[in-house]
Amino acid sequence: MRLILSVIFLSSLLFSATKNTLDNSFITRFEYGAMLYENPRGVGCISCHKKGDKPVIIAKYKEKDKKTKKLVEKSIIAPAINNVSYEVFIDKMTADKTDSKVMPTYFLTKEELDSLFFYIKRLNKK
């Protein structure tokens, strides 16, 4: 009888361990995306895009107009990102950043990019 109970007990432990190995997520996809949005690699999306639902002025500066030689005020604007398509999102996140002096390069994996996009699409719909 003890042997049978021991086998049943060990089988249940093995089943439980196998089940936990197959489903090892401890945070939801939304929570993982939120974590990435706040701090993917030192500088989070939230720093510039805030809630992601409207354009945000990151900085204002003055630049001399080449024709008039007068100082003109300009702005660096982070666009709204919660309505961007997956294709545009992936293109911007994986683009060569040598042309942009503002958007950082993150080197995110496909899983991270997918989770981040999942979060962005649901950002203001909680």
Domain span holding position 42 = 2-94+106-122
Q: How far apart are CA 86 and CA 90, in angstroms?
A: 6
List the chain residues with pLDDT less than 50: 5, 7, 10, 16-23
Determine, yes or no, domain membership for 99.
no
Question: What pLDDT is attached to residue 60?
Answer: 93
Question: What pLDDT is attached to residue 95?
Answer: 82
Determine, yes or no, domain membership for 57.
yes
Collapsing DSSP states into helix, strand and coil, what is residue 45? coil
- The DSSP call for residue 99 is S
Question: What pLDDT is attached to residue 44?
Answer: 86
Determine, yes or no, domain membership for 100.
no
Over the chain, what is the mean pLDDT?
Answer: 80
Determine, yes or no, domain membership for 9.
yes
Question: What pLDDT is attached to residue 22?
Answer: 42
Indicate the number of domains in the chain.
Answer: 1
- Report the predicted TM-score, pTM, of the whole model to 2 decimal places: 0.68
- In Å, what is the CA distance from 19 to each residue of 82, 87, 113? 35, 35, 27
Euclidean distance between the first and the last CA atom of the chain, given in angstroms as a whole number: 53
Determine, yes or no, domain membership for 34.
yes
Question: What pLDDT is attached to residue 73?
Answer: 94
Radius of gyration (C-alpha) of the chain in whole angstroms: 24
